[in-house]
Structure 1
Amino acid sequence: MIYDHFCAGTNKLEIKKTLDYLKNMGFKGVILIYSREIPAMPVEELHELEPLTQDEDIDIWRDGNVKTLDMVEPGDYVGIKFTGAGPRVAQALAQGRDPPQQLIDAMSTICERAAAQGSRLWIDAEQQVFQPTIDRWTVDLMRRYNTNDEALVSLTLQAYLKSARSTLGKLLHQAHDEGWTLGIKLVRGAYIGSETRSLIHSTKLQTDECYNSIATSLLTKSFPDLPKHDFPSVELFLAGHNSDSIRKAYALHQSLLRKGNIPPPPPIKFGQLLGMADDISCELLAMGDDHNTTDADNKADTSAPPMVYKCMNWGSISDGGSASKLEKQATSEEHDKLYGLFGED
């Protein structure tokens, strides 16, 4: 089954075996995602839902994400998908409303648990009908939890959107003005089949240029109206299967470290889906091996080996739409050629 190829397992024992195997290979960590998703509903039907005093879907979603945290270790990530909390949360997202108090409480539980055990969270991107509200809710979380120059929570930025750079600019200014750390997971974008096409760059080349320019801007701390010496604190995670983008970003990061740039570039992390772009993941791991060998001979080397992660779902197909989505996307030749899945080609 295709889903098994991307899945860490269906229970804690299976998942621990997968995670131990990856870390023994040299991966810095993992990103584990609870696979529960709500069944797809037309936006019009979401608008017709009546509010609930207590939403069982949110409780199930909270417990699933807390269980996911139980399976990871310090330094690992848990991926959070807001629509997995049920149709009424999706309704609030689509309507641009504040999150229900029950969801705020659930996210407080998840964030505090992650902080206590030294794990981190990234909030996944979704369709544009939800994304502006997802960004706003995520900024609220970063404002609250991304203190002391560390990003407990990261927001997903999709480079295939024409608005990506302007969105980044607004986020950087918010982080600068309010004094919190901006966590950015940069991807190309995975919803081309369901998005309003006019929102997306016309060509793959434009998407590549946007992705690469954002990575460069963050690594070099160069962005309009933000001086280098007063650039906000940023943590960058490059999620992608495009070898050219990964090599360029890693080479630039190492060059800036060796030159002793002041201020130094932010830390950089790389991630690919389990079962996809394993050649890129292994190439990055090999760079780390080469770096460690060089370090033994050159104590003055101030560069750093790449931090490489593998991203995976856990759960069964019956847990929700995530599995079915992976099946569909992994077998969609047209989609793979255009962008692929999770930090697309």
Structure 2
Amino acid sequence: MAARSSPKLLKNLRFLHTQSPSISNSTGSSLNLLEKLTPSIPKASTTSSVENLNFDDGERLFSSMSTSQLLKSTFNLHLVSFDPVVDVGIRVMRSSLMEKKVFRGVLLELIKRTVYDHFCAGENVEEASKTLQRLWDVGLRGILDYGLEDASDNHGCDRNLEEFLNTINTASLLPPSSVSFSCVKITAICPIYLLERVSDLLRWKQKNPLFNLPWKLDSLPFLCDSSPLYHTTSEPCPLTDQEERDLQLALQRLMRLCEKCQETNLPLLVDAEYTSVQPAIDYLTYTAAIRFNDDENPIVFGTIQAYLRDAKERLVQAIEGAEKRGISMGFKLVRGAYMTRETELASSLGVASPIHGCIQDTHECYNECASFMLEKIALGHGSVVLATHNLESGKVAAAKAEELMIGKGNLKLQFSQLKGMADGLSLGLRNAGFNVSKYLPFGPVEKVMPYLLRRAEENRGLLSASTLDRQLMRGELKRRLKVAIMGGEGDKIMAQG
């Protein structure tokens, strides 16, 4: 049954009602009726075809969401779609006002009740588990992510590792198959400065194959001719003895995570970052993959960012390298989240941006990478998580999967969207029978704030482009309101009769 609306949610609806000229003023008296609607929760279909990938039927798409949930989602999506609101929020969060205890407490509480609740799963793993359970009840899975940012020393890395391990332990106690992946940011378990140093050395070796790296272990290829190497303009100094020990500690942390994931049969997604540290991340990821991906179901998944010009070349060479070794490699495909950072850095160095010149090229690269992975899956090689909020990419991939006769229950193909984003796409893919997960960052509000600020800065276009979801949700709210009004009129007629 759908939960009844709180007074605060009714207030939000009244706000939307007063702000939207398309909703008649005569509907104000029907708000209580609207909140009484309790749409039933459907089970995810296992026999439907891509023809069921219908994004026009809001009633079916959002049948598993209560009116209260729709109201709150619509309000928050409107809030984050306005650049001035995002700009003011970012400035305030980074201002000296945050040093004032009273102001800080009020602001964090406001954030928690709006954008935090919308995009995050809770302040701790217990709250995140409840969010995941609600998703599981409506046919969606979850990807638990303790929302940490970069670590600066080994102490911080060790503390973060324990949080990641605790997340995996908790996931193992949840309903079977409700959690599709755990995930890790290498920047949280290896000091960021060390990743920069290692990346410099790896790039220099790409330029000069005879350059000796005595600490380097066996790995899959991770740089190619089209990779951005401009970060490293001269030969870097070798790692110091302490840096080599720290690198070994970082690798041991990653191996502990992989071992725990292997024990619990829970694959591990390794997130991608900015190009200045990505070579080291890929090196560590592929080193772990060689050890743990020794059967057809990979434990370790890397991430490919399709907005990078070298994305497909690196994906192809990594998959082919894995096939030659007789191991299976899994990848998460994303478009990318560091456009501003990458473009500004390249410009400051007087070189071309590593990112595609236009959004259409990024879309084409994403779809080509997805098609390549789907063809590999059809042949029995590799696994892929198609992490996309783009409606057309979802449709193209779903059609390709059906063309290749990849079964809807095949766990080697999964779709994923962020919590609070592209819910229409998530639910549409679910209705068509595909495996769909929502990415669930969690953690204390103050610790997750860097994640939220980065999401706000780097994904302005994505947040503004939530138009489809907002339109679909508004349409469904209007439909429910109309049903409530008509139902009320019908009750009056029956009473008069």
With the shorter chain as reference, the TM-score category is 0.7 to 0.9
Residues 147 and 335 (structure 1), Cα distance of their counterparts in 2 relative to 1, 3 Å cut:
same
Structure 2 counterpart of 1:243: 391
Q: Which of 358, 361, 366 does residue 206 from structure 1 map onto?
A: 361
- What are the within-5 Å matches in structure 2 for residues 251-262 of structure 1? 251-257=399-405
Structure (1/2) with the larger strand percentage? 1
1:30 aligns with 2:134: no
SS in 1 for 2:365: helix
AA at the equivalent of 1:23: W
Residues 189 and 10 (structure 1), Cα distance of their counterparts in 2 relative to 1, 3 Å cut:
same
- What are the within-5 Å matches in structure 2 for residues 52-91 of structure 1? 55-73=154-172, 75=177, 76-85=180-189, 86-91=191-196
- What are the within-5 Å matches in structure 2 for residues 334-345 of structure 1? 334=461, 336=463
Q: Which of 288, 304, 324 does residue 157 from structure 1 map onto?
A: 304
Q: Distance in 1 between matches of 2:128 and 2:376?
A: 38
Query: How much does 1:318 deviate?
Result: 2.3
Structure (1/2) with the larger helix percentage? 2
Query: How much does 1:177 deviate?
Result: 1.4
Kept in 2, the 8 Å contact 1:185–1:239? The answer is yes
Kept in 2, the 8 Å contact 1:181–1:232? The answer is no
Q: Distance in 1 between matches of 2:118 and 2:456?
A: 10
1:234 aligns with 2:373: no
Q: Distance in 2 between matches of 1:151 and 1:161?
A: 24
Query: How much does 1:312 deviate?
Result: 1.5
Residues 317 and 91 (structure 1), Cα distance of their counterparts in 2 relative to 1, 3 Å cut:
farther
SS in 1 for 2:187: helix
- Give me the CA root mean square deviation: 2.7
Kept in 2, the 8 Å contact 1:3–1:327? The answer is no
Structure 2 counterpart of 1:309: 437
1:14 aligns with 2:127: yes
Unaligned runs of 5+ in 1: 40-45, 47-51, 223-227, 289-305, 341-345
Measured against aligned partners, the alpha-carbon deviations of 1:224-261 in whole angstroms (never above 9, x if no partner) come to xxxx9xx6821011000011111111111112117x9x
1:95 aligns with 2:200: yes
AA at the equivalent of 2:289: M
Kept in 2, the 8 Å contact 1:96–1:133? The answer is no
Q: Distance in 2 between matches of 1:81 and 1:134?
A: 9
Residues 319 and 89 (structure 1), Cα distance of their counterparts in 2 relative to 1, 3 Å cut:
farther
Query: How much does 1:89 deviate?
Result: 4.1
Residues 84 and 270 (structure 1), Cα distance of their counterparts in 2 relative to 1, 3 Å cut:
same
**Larger-gyration structure (1/2):** 2
SS in 2 for 1:276: coil
Which moved further from structure 2: 206-215 or 78-87? 78-87
Structure 2 counterpart of 1:278: 423
- What are the within-5 Å matches in structure 2 for residues 160-239 of structure 1? 160-196=307-343, 198-221=353-376, 233-239=381-387
TM-score by length of 1: 0.78
Kept in 1, the 8 Å contact 2:270–2:285? The answer is yes
Q: Distance in 2 between matches of 1:92 and 1:114?
A: 28
Query: How much does 1:60 deviate?
Result: 0.8
Q: Distance in 2 between matches of 1:335 and 1:30?
A: 21
Q: Distance in 2 between matches of 1:127 and 1:241?
A: 20
TM-score by length of 2: 0.55
- What are the within-5 Å matches in structure 2 for residues 117-132 of structure 1? 117-132=264-279
Structure 2 counterpart of 1:267: 412
Quick one: percent identity of the two aligned structures? Answer: 31
Kept in 2, the 8 Å contact 1:35–1:319? The answer is yes
Aligned residues: 295
Structure 2 counterpart of 1:318: 446
Unaligned runs of 5+ in 2: 1-110, 203-215, 217-245, 347-352, 468-497
AA at the equivalent of 1:78: S
AA at the equivalent of 1:202: G
Measured against aligned partners, the alpha-carbon deviations of 1:237-287 in whole angstroms (never above 9, x if no partner) come to 1000011111111111112117x9xxxx99310000000000000101111
AA at the equivalent of 2:147: S
Which moved further from structure 2: 122-131 or 132-141? 132-141
Measured against aligned partners, the alpha-carbon deviations of 1:110-148 in whole angstroms (never above 9, x if no partner) come to 111111111111110100001122111111111111111
Kept in 2, the 8 Å contact 1:201–1:207? The answer is yes
